[in-house]
């Protein structure tokens, strides 16, 4: 604890600035696709949108990721 308050201690160092996360490509999600996932898999709308956006908006790929999860 004493090291923190000593001249040259870590409290005098400037805080580390974290770079912003790289912007992801905007994917257009169809309401019908989100509804299919919500109703068939009983997940929330937010979960369905996340799954669909991770699949790049491709409903088939999103459904496959739910049926055959990655090991």
Asked, for residue 36, whether it belongs to a domain, the answer is: yes
Residue 35 token pair: 């509804």
Range of the domain at 37: 28-71
Distances (CA, A) of 22 to 14, 18, 47, 66: 24, 12, 22, 26
Asked, for residue 41, whether it belongs to a domain, the answer is: yes
Question: Does position 58 have pLDDT exceeding 80, yes or no?
Answer: yes
Contact between 27 and 53 (Cβ < 8 Å) = yes
For residue 43, the domain's CATH number is 1.10.8
Contact between 51 and 40 (Cβ < 8 Å) = no
Dmax (CA) for the chain in angstroms is: 62
Contact between 42 and 48 (Cβ < 8 Å) = no
Could you report the per-residue pLDDT of 2-36, keeping only the tens digit for each? 655 666 655 566 666 665 555 556 889 999 999 99
Q: Provide the domain count of the chain.
A: 1
């Amino acid at each position: 604890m004493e090291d923190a308050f000593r001249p040259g201690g870590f409290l005098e160092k400037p805080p580390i600035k974290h770079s912003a996360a790289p912007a992801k490509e905007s994917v257009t999600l169809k309401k019908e696709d989100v509804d299919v996932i919500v109703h068939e898999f009983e997940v929330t709308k937010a979960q369905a949108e996340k799954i669909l956006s991770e699949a790049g908006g491709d409903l088939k790929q999103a459904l496959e990721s739910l049926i055959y999860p990655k090991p």
